[in-house]
Amino acid sequence: MNLIRLQRMPIATPRVAFAFRVASVLLALFTTAIALSISGRSPVALGAKVISSTFGSSFGLEDLALLFSPLVYCGLSVAVALRIGAWNIGAEGQFNFGAFCATGVALFVQGPTWVILPLMALAGMIGGALWILIPTLARAYADVSELITTLLMNFVAILLVYWVATGPWLDPSGMALATTSRLPVSVPTLWGIVHWGPLVAIFLAIALALFVTYTRWGYEVRIAGANPGAARYAGMPVKTQLIGIMLLSGAIAGLGGMMEVAGTVGRLQGGISNNYGYIGIMVAVLARAAPIGVLATAFFMAVLLNGGIVLQSQGLTTHTVLAVTGLILLYAAIGDEMAHYKILHTKAKDI
């Protein structure tokens, strides 16, 4: 007689893990379809509409590229921190503060575009890094969970942007409500309304992937993330690594904010981050914190977000996409654990 039993393995094989990832996404979409049909909407018709409005026209593709860009920056930001075992739940805040700093440069520094734009990018990155500085130091020196501190900073950044956009930096022309005036410089466009943001994001992902895979620094970060004790014992500067990586993580999200305000939106306004930071966590987790994988999952999430805009015209809110995101995350987490199990066939005489 053959017995079948489940054995938990210490690591999941990549192929099985990937299969579970795909299955979890499909299952989440299926669950959403059921929920939609219960609420009296046709999931097939909605799905077709999402696909046709996204891929059917150049407008749809341009929108897709513009949604793709912030998701890659935020996804990379979270992924980089995850490499060393830190949870940056604050990409949303760093994105906002990066946009805030870049706007400050654009509004108050005069000069030719080729000087101002790099300066704005620098300001965005420094801003993002500054916004994660306190959680980073608290984690490194007082062992305070960065998960909650980075998250709390989100609310502060969002309130700050809302405040300057409705108060001190409010468009003086009186034409616009609750936003700054149009920035005098903008990121040049490449194709239609698509600016350099998405392309820079792709280059950044490739650069990070090479860095993580081929440099000593990337190797040490991986070791420090996998086993801090062993890394310390081997003489690696774990604390310095942690601080460096977390600041880099903030800087990437801040750059994303700069691209958003100087490329896509053109002015600073409340809610500019539009949950990108939170969805970025999802992008990073689905990609298993691999920079190249982030490109794929960010593309998928951009399609989903674009779908959310279509859903909005059907009486649903953009938050519906957040719920779908959560569903994918839940199934992915469960799938991750299940991928560790192996089915063993044991012959009765072996026992």
Partner 1 sequence: MDIIAGLIQTAFLAGGVLALAALGEVLAERVGVVNLGVEGLIALGAMSAVATVVSTGSAWLGLLVALFVGFCSGMIFATATVIIRANQILCGLALTYIGTGMAATIGKPFSGSPVPVTFEDLHIPFLSDLPFFGRAFFSHNILVYVIFLALPLALHYMMFYTRHGLNMRAVGENPAAADAAGISVIKMRFWYTSLGSALAAGAGAYLTLSFVPSWSEGVVAGRGWIAVALVIFAGFRPINAVLAGLLFGFVTALGFTGQARNWPIASSILSMLPYLGTMALMILPVMTWQRMRRLMAAPEGITAPYYRDQR
Q: Which stretch binds partner 1 (CB under 8 A): 120-128, 216-224, 290-298, 336-344?
A: 336-344
302-to-67, 119, 179, 244, 284 alpha-carbon distances in Å: 5, 28, 25, 29, 13
In whole angstroms, the minimum distance from the beta carbon of 134 to partner 1 comes to 7
Site string for partner 1, 78-117 (x = CB under 8 A): ---------x-x----------------------------
Q: How many residues bind partner 1 (CB under 8 A)?
A: 49
Nearest to partner 1 of 170, 176 (CB atom): 170
Strand partners for 3: 346
- Distance, in Å, from the CA atom of 138 to the CA atom of 134, rounded to the nearest integer, reads 6
Restricting to residues 110-169, name those near partner 1 by CB under 8 A. 134, 138, 141-145, 147-149, 151-156, 159-160, 162-163, 166-167
Block residue for tokens 């981050």 = 273
Query: Is 25 a binder of partner 1 (CB under 8 A)?
Result: no
Block residue for tokens 């500019």 = 272
Cβ atoms of 305 and 321 closer than 8 Å: yes
Restricting to residues 297-316, name those near partner 1 by CB under 8 A. 315-316
Q: Which two tokens stand for residue 93?
A: 């805040």
Query: Is 329 a binder of partner 1 (CB under 8 A)?
Result: yes
Query: Is 324 a binder of partner 1 (CB under 8 A)?
Result: yes
- Distance, in Å, from the CA atom of 68 to the CA atom of 303, rounded to the nearest integer, reads 8
180: DSSP letter: B
Q: Which two tokens stand for residue 271?
A: 């809610």
Q: Which stretch binds partner 1 (CB under 8 A): 42-50, 62-70, 236-244, 333-341?
A: 333-341
Amino acid at 108: F
Residues 6+ apart with CB under 8 A from 320: 308, 311
Query: Is 23 a binder of partner 1 (CB under 8 A)?
Result: no
In whole angstroms, the minimum distance from the beta carbon of 59 to partner 1 comes to 26
Nearest to partner 1 of 48, 148 (CB atom): 148
Nearest to partner 1 of 44, 159 (CB atom): 159
Q: What are phi and psi of 195, to 5 degrees?
A: -95, -170
Query: Is 205 a binder of partner 1 (CB under 8 A)?
Result: no
Query: Is 170 a binder of partner 1 (CB under 8 A)?
Result: no
Instruction: Return the exposure string of 75-93: e unless at least 16 CB atoms fall within 10 Å of the residue's CB, then b.
Output: bbbbbbbbbbebbbbbbbb
Cβ atoms of 332 and 286 closer than 8 Å: yes
Query: Is 325 a binder of partner 1 (CB under 8 A)?
Result: yes
In whole angstroms, the minimum distance from the beta carbon of 333 to partner 1 comes to 4
Residues 6+ apart with CB under 8 A from 129: 94, 247, 248, 250, 251, 254
In whole angstroms, the minimum distance from the beta carbon of 212 to partner 1 comes to 21
Binding site for partner 1 (CB under 8 A): 8, 87, 89, 134, 138, 141-145, 147-149, 151-156, 159-160, 162-163, 166-167, 278, 281-282, 285, 315-317, 319-327, 329-330, 332-334, 336-338
